[in-house]
């Protein structure tokens, strides 16, 4: 089932004249203004990665301060991931109803408040509670940010723009562990948390001053309610209850659910390698300095930064070339072809490389092989997730925030459960065996992605979730 009819194609391979007329909605902002918008949402999207990444190297120090253990403090990471998944659903649902700007102006102060609470936490329960508030506040950054990208860029530009967005956001995994490690080693882990308070207030000022509403005209739920006579101006100012879980219905699509599960298997490898890094690579090679442990995260983060814009651009080129080759017919699943090899080769081989190197190779050679594996994994993970996120926006553009949110929530929940199990599993069966299990799951995911690429048009015909045409 193609989503675009045949006819005379334009430079992008587009044939539908109505679609080309709708491009006017993407010309509301100048290229420079679009870049400014992307900068603001990217800076906000970077924060959740900093929140989680900067905390991991300090887990041993936090455990010592609170007279606890690494696995217990690691639950703060798992809990924040789980709550972040809930937050992304809630914020995305309300972003579809009220628009993008009000959500940023509401969620950022909650994040800053949570960071302030974590800064002054004096017990493990207090730490957990304020981490929940912090994670909830920043939970919608990626889903709402991706929706903003979908609001302002047309189909053939969207992959590259999404790649730039994720590439900027993923600076977080590149430098946050090092920043957190330096803070923990030379000052205190609380120093980084207080820095988040300053960052939150700065982002709030920038958003208030420079981020416009990007939702398409008359597309917000509040607009439709007003146009339908459902509320007057006074009632419109009240908070309207919107079911935050209505986006779960989008998972009825086998394409959406299947690709979400594939992305989960891929993302889990990232956490299998990074969460226990102090207790695997650090212990194997005698590295105890938190700053050095943080530096070991750099290859994965740099891989993310390289892979996101690269695979975003590749997915755009595949869309344009294959649509032109078909005489203008658009198949959304074409965008996933660039992600298949990452799922089949790059991700599973990288996680296995780290497991084998840690087990059998000592000294500088072992550290080098692990760093290569982390770089490969960083590139491979976003090589799957960036085209996948753009694909979701392509096929459900009018529900872009909701579909990104619900898929992110499912991934986040599965990753949170996996993260909580990583250290106990490594202690029980070993790091190599754990990486082998993770790689096997990714290979199963590769089979699922091939099915979606090969039969995606038929699978979309099974359940219609409101698929949209380009535009």
pLDDT for position 231: 57
User: Using one digit for the tens of pLDDT, what is the confidence trace for 324-375?
Assistant: 998 888 899 999 998 999 999 999 999 999 999 999 998 899 999 999 999 9
Asked if pLDDT for residue 220 goes beyond 50, the answer is yes
CA distance 120 to 202: 20
Mean pLDDT of 145-167: 87
Asked if pLDDT for residue 230 goes beyond 80, the answer is no
CA angle 83, 442, 50 (to 5 degrees): 35
pLDDT for position 87: 87
Mean pLDDT of 41-63: 86
- Find which of 56-65, 140-149, 394-403 is predicted with most confidence, using mean pLDDT: 140-149
Asked if pLDDT for residue 1 goes beyond 70, the answer is no
Asked if pLDDT for residue 379 goes beyond 70, the answer is yes
Let me know: does 342 contact 325? Beta carbons within 8 Å.
no
Mean pLDDT of 373-402: 90
Asked if pLDDT for residue 210 goes beyond 70, the answer is yes
Higher pLDDT, 150 or 227: 150
Q: How many CA atoms lie within 13 A of 433 on its CB side?
A: 8
Asked if pLDDT for residue 282 goes beyond 90, the answer is no
The helix-helix angle for 31-53 and 100-119 (nearest 10°) equals 30
Say which CATH architecture domain 27-234+246-462 belongs to. Answer: Up-down Bundle (1.20)
Mean pLDDT of 13-23: 53
Asked if pLDDT for residue 301 goes beyond 50, the answer is yes
Q: How far is CA 244 from CA 81, 100, 256, 398, 412, in A?
A: 18, 15, 18, 16, 16
User: Using one digit for the tens of pLDDT, what is the confidence trace for 418-449?
Assistant: 877 888 898 899 999 999 999 999 999 999 99
Residues contacting 393, CB < 8 A, separation 6+: 146, 147, 149, 150, 158, 162, 400, 403, 404
**Residue 280 pLDDT grade (very low, low, confident, very high; cuts 50, 70, 90):** confident
**Residue 6 pLDDT grade (very low, low, confident, very high; cuts 50, 70, 90):** very low
Asked if pLDDT for residue 238 goes beyond 70, the answer is no
What length is written for the chain? Answer: 471
Mean pLDDT of 13-36: 73
Asked if pLDDT for residue 78 goes beyond 80, the answer is no
DSSP secondary structure string for all residues of 342-355: IIIIIHHHHHHHHH
Higher pLDDT, 378 or 5: 378
Asked if pLDDT for residue 18 goes beyond 60, the answer is no
Average pLDDT over all residues of the chain? 86
CA distance 359 to 26: 52
Asked if pLDDT for residue 186 goes beyond 70, the answer is yes
- Find which of 66-80, 148-162, 253-267 is predicted with most confidence, using mean pLDDT: 253-267
The distance of Cα 369 from the centroid of its chain, to the nearest Å, equals 27
The residue behind tokens 């299998």 is: 272
Q: How many CA atoms lie within 13 A of 351 on its CB side?
A: 30
pLDDT for position 102: 94
pLDDT for position 8: 45
Mean pLDDT of 61-79: 83
pLDDT for position 354: 93
Asked if pLDDT for residue 3 goes beyond 50, the answer is no
Asked if pLDDT for residue 470 goes beyond 60, the answer is no
pTM for the full predicted model = 0.77
DSSP code of 276? T
């Amino acid at each position: 089932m193609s989503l675009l009819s045949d006819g005379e194609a334009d430079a992008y391979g587009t044939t539908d004249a109505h679609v080309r007329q709708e491009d006017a909605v993407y010309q509301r902002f100048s290229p420079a203004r679009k870049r400014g918008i992307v900068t603001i949402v990217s800076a906000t999207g970077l924060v959740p990665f900093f929140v989680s990444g900067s905390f991991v190297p300090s887990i041993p120090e936090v455990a010592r301060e609170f007279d606890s253990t690494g696995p217990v403090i690691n639950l703060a990471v798992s809990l924040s991931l789980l709550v972040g998944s809930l937050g992304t659903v809630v914020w995305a649902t309300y972003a579809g109803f009220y628009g993008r700007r009000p959500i940023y102006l509401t969620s950022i102060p909650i994040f800053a408040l949570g960071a302030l609470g974590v800064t002054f936490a004096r017990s493990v329960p207090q730490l957990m509670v304020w981490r929940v508030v912090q994670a909830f506040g920043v939970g919608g950054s990626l889903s709402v940010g991706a929706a903003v990208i979908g609001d302002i860029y047309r189909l053939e530009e969207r992959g590259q723009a999404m790649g730039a967005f994720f590439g900027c956001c993923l600076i977080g995994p590149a430098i946050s562990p090092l920043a957190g490690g330096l803070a923990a080693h030379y000052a205190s882990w609380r120093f980084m948390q207080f820095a988040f308070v300053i960052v939150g207030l700065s982002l709030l000022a920038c958003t208030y001053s420079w981020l416009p509403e990007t939702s398409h005209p008359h597309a917000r739920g509040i607009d439709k309610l007003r146009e339908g006579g459902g509320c007057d101006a006074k009632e419109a100012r009240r908070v309207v209850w919107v079911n935050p879980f209505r986006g779960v219905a989008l998972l009825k699509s086998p394409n959406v659910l299947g690709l979400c599960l594939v992305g989960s298997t891929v993302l889990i490898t990232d956490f299998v390698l990074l969460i226990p890094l102090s207790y695997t690579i650090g212990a194997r090679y005698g590295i105890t300095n938190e700053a050095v442990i943080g530096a070991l995260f750099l290859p994965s983060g740099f891989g993310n930064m390289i892979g996101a814009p690269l695979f975003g651009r590749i997915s755009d080129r595949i869309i344009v070339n294959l649509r032109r080759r078909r005489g203008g017919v658009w198949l959304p699943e074409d965008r996933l072809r660039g992600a298949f090899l990452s799922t089949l080769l790059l991700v599973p081989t990288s996680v296995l490389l780290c497991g084998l190197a840690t087990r059998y190779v000592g000294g500088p050679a072992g550290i080098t092989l692990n760093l290569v594996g982390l770089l490969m994994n960083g590139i491979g993970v976003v090589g799957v997730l960036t085209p996948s996120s753009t694909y979701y926006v392509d096929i459900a553009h009018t529900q872009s925030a909701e579909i990104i949110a619900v898929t992110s929530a499912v991934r986040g929940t599965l990753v949170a459960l996996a993260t909580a199990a990583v250290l106990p599993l490594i202690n029980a069966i070993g790091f190599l065996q754990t990486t082998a299990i993770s790689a096997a799951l990714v290979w199963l995911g590769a089979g699922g992605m091939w099915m979606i690429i090969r039969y995606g048009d038929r699978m979309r015909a099974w359940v219609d979730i409101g698929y949209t045409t380009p535009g």
